Amino acid sequence: APEAPPAKETPLPSPAPHTDIVAKISPTSQNAQEKDIVEGLMEKP
């Protein structure tokens, strides 16, 4: 059985669930692209 349930739509290759949170904070994360999209949506009026 998988350790982490599919809580997100995007299948992240992260072995740990906390990596998803780090991706939102660390721009150097492998998920930097998603972080850029999230910030872009927030910056949009």
Give me the pLDDT at residue 27, please.
52
pTM, 2 dp: 0.25
Per the structure, the complete domain to which residue 31 belongs is given by 14-45
Q: Tell the residue number behind the tokens 């739509």, with chain if given.
A: 9
* Structural domain contains residue 27: yes
* Inside any domain, residue 23: yes
Judge whether 25 lies within some domain: yes
Nearest-5° angle of CA 17, CA 22, CA 26?
160
Average pLDDT estimate for 26-34: 58
Mean pLDDT computed over 23-42: 64
Q: What is the pLDDT of residues 3-21, one digit of tens each?
A: 766 555 656 565 655 555 5
pLDDT of residue 18: 59
Is 3 inside any structural domain? no
